[in-house]
Amino acid sequence: MNFQEILEKIKTKHEVLESKEDLGVLNAYIATAKIAAVAAFMKDELKFEQLNFITAVDFPANNAIEVVYHFFSYETADSVVLRIKLDRAKAEVPTISGVFKTADWHEREASEMFGIKFSGHPDLNRLLLPDGIESPLRKDYKNPDMTPLPKA
């Protein structure tokens, strides 16, 4: 399937806000509240069984954090990226850990790294970071301990 076909298929059931092609891979923007339903649709109907990863990209210029869901289908070897645009100040998105178990840890990681709240997540505890470090992967993160390496 090329990206156009996949896009058409998603569009039959769910609304796609915006879409683009990036090196042959479909990037579809989904409404925030819809993500769990779309993920379930991807898994059950379109046979995208594998969720490769969930992460986020911070765009302070647009005041947006984009959550990226990367799917892969073992049958057709196609990839699809679903994206959600979030407000940087109020980043909250429903969890899809009920659909994909692998989302559990990936959401925890994205949550602590970007300060995104995944509402409905069963165990949104810290995964990798110790207490006291808040969303280090945001572009405006400043840590007083973070000094540049000494010049040799």
Partner 1 sequence: MIKYLFDLVKGIVSLFEGLGVTLKHCFRRPITLQYPEKRPDISLRFRGRLVMPVDPATGDNRCTACMLCVRACPNHSIDVEKLIGEDGKPKPKVSKYIYNLGSCMFCNLCVESCAFAAIIMSDEYETAVQNKASLIMDLAAEKYKLSGKKAPWWQSKFKQEEGA
Partner 2 sequence: MIKAPFEMEKISDEEYILNMGPQHPSTHGVLRIVLKLDGEVVTGLYPDVGYIHSSVEKMCENKKFEMITPYTDRLDYLSAVNYNWAYVAAVEKLMGIQLPERAEYMRVMLAELNRIMSHLLWYSAFGMDVGALTPIFYAFREREEVIDMVEGMTGGRLTHHAFRIGGFKNDLQKDFLSRLEKFLAKFEDRICEYEALLINNVILTARTKGVGILDKDTAINYGVTGPVLRGSGCAIDLRKNAPYSVYSKFDFRVCTGKNGDTWDRLKVRMDEMRESAKILKQAAAMLPAGEFCAKVPRVIKPAPGEVYTKVESARGEFGVYMVSDGTEKPYRIKFRSPSFSNLSVLKEITIGSKIADVVAIMGSLDLVIPEIDR
Where along the sequence are the contacts to partner 1 (CB under 8 A)?
Answer: 148-152
Those residues whose C-beta lies under 8 Å from the C-beta of residue 45, and which sit 6 or more positions away, are: 9, 13
Residue 142 binds which of partner 2, partner 1, none (CB < 5-8 A, kind-dependent): none
Residue 25 binds which of partner 2, partner 1, none (CB < 5-8 A, kind-dependent): partner 2
Stretch binding partner 2 (CB under 8 A), from 9-17, 29-37, 49-57, 86-94: 49-57
Decide: is 70 part of the binding site for partner 2 (CB under 8 A). yes
Cβ-defined contacts of 118-122 (< 8 Å, 24+): 118/92, 118/93, 118/94, 119/92, 119/93, 119/94, 119/95, 120/94, 120/95, 121/95, 121/97, 122/97
Decide: is 22 part of the binding site for partner 2 (CB under 8 A). yes
CA 26 and chain centroid, separation = 14
Output 142 or 151, the one with its CB closest to partner 1: 151
* CB 21 to partner 2: min, Å: 10
